[in-house]
């Protein structure tokens, strides 16, 4: 359909080498667990076969959201991906669209699904549409905790310390996270 983002797999003939990409998933509307599962399943379709790592799902209080916003379910997955970072951005935006995320003029408004690229291999991108590593990754417990669950020793491009170290030294007013589902 014209105008609708499409989710597709790269053809098997693509010879690009794949990179590890960390992706944060969040939902605070509707069946939050189902939305995260659906997003994960769609990411798995574009990932290198068998490459998906997934952290537990946590329930978190909204951060920098409008008053009365419902709690989020948050997690992080990592996939191996053979396209470019901008190809992955197109795919994540198509996943959000497919799962019913509506555009909102209000910043950080409640949403069915949020799919954010956290890092893409060792690339550093400071662009109009995409900043990598994600600029707020190391200041948000709801991202650091699940990422530390699957990649505690990861050192982001341009950084000096591991994700686990960032989490240990996090100065945040976010309350502790509540595990919703370890295996999903």
Residue 116 bears catalytic tag:
yes
pLDDT of amino acid 107:
75
Catalytic residue among 71, 87, 90, 116: 116
Stated as kind and residue range, the H or E segment containing 167 is helix 163-168
Q: Which CATH class is domain 19-181?
A: alpha beta
> What percent of the chain lies above the pLDDT cut of 90?
75
* From 32, 40, 111, 141, active-site residue: 111
- Which pLDDT band holds residue 103 (cuts at 50, 70, 90)? confident
Residue corresponding to tokens 């537990």: 56
Task: Using a cut of 0.85, tell me whether the model's pTM lies above it.
Answer: yes
**Catalytic: 111?**
yes
From the list 114, 140, 141, 149, the catalytic residue is 114
20: β partners? 80
Rg (CA), the chain: 16
Please tell me what DSSP assigns to residue 88. H
Q: Is 87 a catalytic residue?
A: no
Identify whether the C-beta of residue 105 lies closer than 8 Å to the C-beta of residue 55: no
Which of 14-18, 38-42, 172-176 shows the lowest mean pLDDT across its residues?
14-18
Residue 125: exposure state from Cβ atoms within 10 A (0-12, 13-18, ≥19): middle
pLDDT band at 16 (very low <50, low <70, confident <90, very high): low
> Of the listed 32, 101, 140, 141, which one is catalytic?
101
Q: What is the pLDDT of residues 49-61, one digit of tens each?
A: 988 999 999 999 8
What pLDDT does 158 receive?
Answer: 94
Residue 40 pLDDT class (50, 70, 90 cuts): very high
Backbone angles phi, psi at 163, to 5 degrees: -60, -45
Residue 101 bears catalytic tag: yes
Q: What is the pLDDT of residues 113-164, one digit of tens each?
A: 999 999 999 999 998 899 999 999 999 999 999 999 999 999 999 999 999 9
Retrieve residue 106's tokens. 């209000």
In b/e form, how buried is each residue of 159-174, taking b as 16+ CB within 10 angstroms? Answer: eeebbbbbbeeeeeee
What was the pLDDT predicted at 7? Answer: 45
**Domain definitions of the chain by residue range:** 19-181
């Amino acid at each position: 359909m014209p105008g609708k983002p499409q989710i597709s797999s790269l053809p098997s003939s693509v010879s690009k080498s794949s990179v590890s990409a960390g992706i944060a998933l969040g939902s605070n509307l509707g069946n939050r667990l189902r939305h995260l599962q659906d997003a994960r399943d769609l990411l798995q379709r574009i990932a290198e076969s068998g490459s998906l790592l997934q952290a537990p799902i946590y329930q978190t209080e909204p951060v920098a959201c409008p008053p009365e916003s419902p709690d989020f379910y948050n997690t992080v997955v990592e996939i191996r991906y053979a396209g470019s970072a901008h190809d992955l951005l197109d795919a994540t935006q198509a996943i959000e669209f497919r799962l019913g995320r509506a555009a909102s003029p209000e910043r950080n408004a409640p949403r069915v699904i949020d799919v954010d690229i956290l890092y893409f291999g060792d690339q550093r991108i400071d662009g109009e549409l995409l900043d990598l590593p994600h600029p707020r990754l190391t200041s948000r417990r709801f991202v650091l905790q699940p990422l530390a669950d699957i990649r505690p020793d990861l050192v982001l491009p341009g950084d000096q310390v591991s994700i686990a170290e960032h989490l240990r030294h996090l100065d945040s007013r976010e309350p502790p996270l509540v595990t919703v589902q370890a295996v999903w």
